[in-house]
A = this chain, B = another copy of it.
Amino acid sequence: MRARPYATTSPTRLAAALLEVAARSGLESASVREVASQAGVSIGAVQHHFPTKDEMLAYSFQALADRVLTRLATVDPDIDPTRTLFAALSQLLPLDDQRGSEAHVMAAFAVRAATSPSLSSIRSSVLFTIRTGLATVLIRMGTPDPETRAALLVAAVNGLALDATSSPDLYPREYLTHALHTQIQLTLDTPN
């Protein structure tokens, strides 16, 4: 493919290319060379926008996080909190191909964050935002220890997403849906 000059690409397009490479072949395959090839631009064009690989990864993780958080933010609060929580948290589970790719790449960035302060900072912000949003629903319900239960909802969903990503046969989609309903029920029903 003919490489396009700098002007025809943008950080947003390069991030989209990185996320495609990572979803298909793993985040470890998302080198500057592979991203350039996926985007149909030169390596120099990628380096023009992202002088370091760390910057490319951080920008792409933030773009993915923004996309997912935007979907979460547009969930209509239902009169039934079970439905509100399900609608929000099911955005994070691999219940269709798009969410499957997102869950895989989100988990890959989460692991990479263990050795990257810039990725860690982005993931902490994402976790904090989601936990706070969930805790707000639980506080409104009078649920005991809402902060911990919100963190457990996030952890259960992140864990199910990771487990389903590595072992899809053990976690078919209907099973994930049933498991999420069960965790929400445990969260809302139990007295302290």
Contact = CB atoms under 8 A, between A and B. Distances in A.
A68 interface: no
- Report copies per complex: 2
B182 A127 contact: no
B179 A111 contact: no
A183 B107 contact: no
A166 B120 contact: yes
Interface in A121-168: 123-124, 127-128, 145, 148-149, 151-152, 154-160, 162-163, 165-167
Interface string A168-187: 01110001001100110111
Interface residues of A, number: 50
A166 B28 contact: no
Contact of A166 (B113, B151, B156): B113
Nearest to A160: B155
A26 interface: yes
